[in-house]
Amino acid sequence: MKEFLLKYGCNPNQTPARIFMQEGELPVEVLNGRPGYINFLDALNGWQLVREIKQATGYPAATSFKHVSPTSAAIGKVLPEKLKKACFVDDIAGLDSSPIACAYARARGTDRMSSFGDWIALSDECDEVTAEIIKREVSDGIIAPSFTPRALEILKQKRKGNYNIVKIDPAYTPAALERKQVFGVTFEQGHNDLLITKELLNEVVTENKEIPEEKKLDMIVALITLKYTQSNSVCFAYDGQAIGVGAGQQSRIHCTRLAASKADLWFLRQTDRVLSLPFRLDLSRPDLNNVIDLYLSDEESEELLAEGTWQTYFTTRPEPFTKEQKRAVLSSLSGVTVASDAFFPFSDNLERAKRSGVTYVVQPGGSVRDDLVIDCANKHGMVMVFSHTRLFHH
User: Which pairing describes strands 118-122 and 139-144: parallel, antiparallel, or unpaired?
Assistant: parallel
232: annotated active-site residue: yes
Distance between CA 201 and CA 213 in Å, rounded? 11
Catalytic member of 32, 39, 45, 66? 66
What's the rounded Cα separation, in Å, for the pair 237 and 73?
A: 9
The reply to whether 254 belongs to the active site is no
Widest distance between CA atoms in the chain: 65
Determine the Cα–Cα distance for residues 218 and 213; give it in Å rounded to an integer: 9
Pairing label, strands 164-168, 139-144: parallel
How many angstroms from the chain centroid is the CA of residue 147?
Answer: 22
Our answer to whether residue 394 is catalytic in this structure is: yes
- Please report which residue ranges of the chain form alpha helices under DSSP H: 37-57, 81-86, 99-110, 112-115, 128-135, 149-155, 213-227, 252-269, 272-275, 285-295, 301-304, 323-331, 348-354, 370-379
Give the active site residue among 32, 164, 232, 289: 232
Choosing from 67, 77, 135, 380, the catalytic residue is 67
Catalytic residues: 66-67, 232, 394
